[in-house]
Amino acid sequence: MYQLMSQLAIDQTRAAGKREQLLKLLREVGQRKFVATLEAAVANYQGEFCPTIGIIRNYLPSKHSADERSWWRDPNCGKCHGTGWHYVADPEANKLYHREDCRAVRRCTNPDCLHREGVPKHG
């Protein structure tokens, strides 16, 4: 939102609504695509005022543009938030470094996170 406000004029009476719409978009597509979308909108939009959410959505990276994977991770996963990785305690590093706060990353194993195209969800 701040990047949009610094680059494009936003009607202050609509700022709260714009914030809500952007938050909804963030939850829908995940942080990586959200940031890429906003950067593309700021760099390429030719208008004087901040574009509508519909125009911003036009800057979403194409599903198959640079990413030909046949799977995707859920950006709303409570474990990894769509990254595919989550932090866990690392007892070996804690022992080695005489600490108690060392962490490592592990692949997300949440069965509702990984989605494959054409494969129906279990259950």
Q: Rounded mean pLDDT of the chain? A: 79
CB 22 within 8 A of CB 41: no
The pLDDT score that the predictor gives to residue 31 is 84
Contact 51, 42 (CB under 8 A): no
pLDDT at 71 (0 to 100): 77
Rounded-to-integer distance, Cα 37 and Cα 43, Å: 10
CB 90 within 8 A of CB 72: no
Say how far apart CA 18 and CA 16 lie, in whole Å. 5
Query: Is pLDDT at 19 greater than 50 in this prediction?
Result: yes
pLDDT digits 0-9 by tens, 45-77: 887 777 788 888 888 876 544 455 677 888 889
Match 């939009």 to its residue by tokens: 45
Domain limits, the chain: 2-57, 71-116
Interval 87-113 mean pLDDT: 91
Measured CA to CA, the distance from residue 113 to residue 80 in angstroms comes to 8
Whether the per-residue pLDDT at 123 is higher than 50: the answer is no
Query: Do residues 113 and 78 touch, judged by C-beta distance below 8 A?
Result: no
Q: Which of 40-44, 67-71, 76-80, 85-89 is predicted least confidently? A: 67-71
Q: Which 8-state DSSP code applies to residue 95?
A: H
Per-residue pLDDT, 20:
86
| Confidence tier at 89 by pLDDT (50, 70, 90) | very high
> What is d(CA 103, CA 117) in angstroms, rounded to the nearest whole number?
33
**DSSP state for residue 66 in the 8-state scheme:** S
